[in-house]
Homo-oligomer: A and B are copies of this chain.
Amino acid sequence: MTNQPAIAPETELALNLQGAACPTPIRQRGQVVMGHGSGGKLSADLIRQLFLPSFDNPALRAGDDAAVVTPPPGHRLALSTDSHVVWPLFFPGGDIGRLAVCGTVNDLAMMGAIPTYLTASFILEEGLELELLTRVVVSMQAAAAEAGVQIVAGDTKVVQRGKADGLYINTAGVGFIPEGVTINGAQARPSDVVILSGSIGDHGIAVLEARGELGFETAVTSDAAPLHQLVAAMLAVSNQVHVLRDPTRGGVASTLNEIAQQSQVGILLQEKAIPVRPPSMRRAKCWASTPVHCQRGQVVGDCRP
């Protein structure tokens, strides 16, 4: 289930977590047991020893059934959710925790919203190493800090061994859309141009290779990252941004198909104009796919030229 060496229950770990910024050192021993999802003492221990010190903020610390926050006046709300079931849990350039934060942050940013609050819900498989969960949680907090969002509410469930694949993470997000910003899939117009923010295909290839599904090794790493600052920079210089999308599972091709349907327009692509880094292109060709179908971490922008 994990690629970590087994840890005997009751062995205390002092983790050396590079890049972690936890207010207190996190020590987690042993494995996830059903009681961690019971709502009783073990659940409370997990919250107090792992989630609270990692995600610390006033709304979460209150420990109530829901987090209470104050929205800025005059803004609309953007709401999004995404469950993450990636395997392997760690891959070159990222992990399920980083994906879970970036995915929802980017869904909010693509509406022109300022991503602000996340909820995080964990479905843990009995027997999961707590040290592995800790690494994922620390990665989530690092990504949340990078994205400028707070994880204000959470939930943990445990399922029996064999009823999950290590862990699944759901994040839901709230962002605030300033007055005057209207960006959505129905805004594309004839004569708009499509802009890609960078080379495509790297995330999908990195995960496939980490799975061993391509049968050889490469130096391709995932480029999953929060894109809110890129969006903010675009909006600061142009009020002609019509559509933004973060291509995920279906890649750039599916993303543009969706936009074409929503806006009732046709979109013409020039294959040679699509940036693909050579290693990803080679890998995609070996895998009988095209990079436009395997993508994450880049913005597709649709703007008036």
Contact = CB atoms under 8 A, between A and B. Distances in A.
Interface in A26-49: 37-40, 43
A119 B76 contact: no
Contacts of A113: 66
A97 interface: no
Contacts of A69: 76-77, 79
Contacts of A9: none
B111 A40 contact: no
A35 to B, nearest CB: 11
Interface stretch (A133-141, A172-180, A205-213): A172-180
B121 A83 contact: yes
Contacts of A165: 159-160, 163
Interface stretch (A13-21, A147-155, A218-226, A234-242): A147-155
A128 to B, nearest CB: 13
A169 B85 CA distance: 13
A277 to B, nearest CB: 22
Given A39-B254, A63-B185, A184-B64, A76 B83 contact: no
B159 A85 contact: yes
Given A119-B80, A159-B165, A163-B164, A110 B65 contact: yes
B119 A65 contact: no
A62 B184 contact: yes
A164 B160 CA distance: 9
A174 B177 contact: no
A23 interface: no
Interface string A155-194: 1010110111100101011110100000011100000000
Interface string A61-84: 011111111110101111111111
A65 to B, nearest CB: 4
A283 interface: no
B76 A71 contact: yes
A158 to B, nearest CB: 8
A246 interface: yes
23 contacts: A37-B249, A38-B249, A40-B254, A43-B250, A64-B111, A64-B185, A65-B110, A65-B246, A66-B79, A66-B108, A66-B110, A66-B111, A66-B173, A71-B76, A71-B77, A81-B119, A81-B153, A81-B154, A81-B170, A83-B121, A85-B157, A121-B170, A168-B168
Nearest first, the 10 closest Cβ-Cβ pairs linking A and B are A39-B249, A172-B172, A39-B250, A81-B119, A66-B80, A170-B170, A65-B107, A66-B78, A83-B121, A65-B110
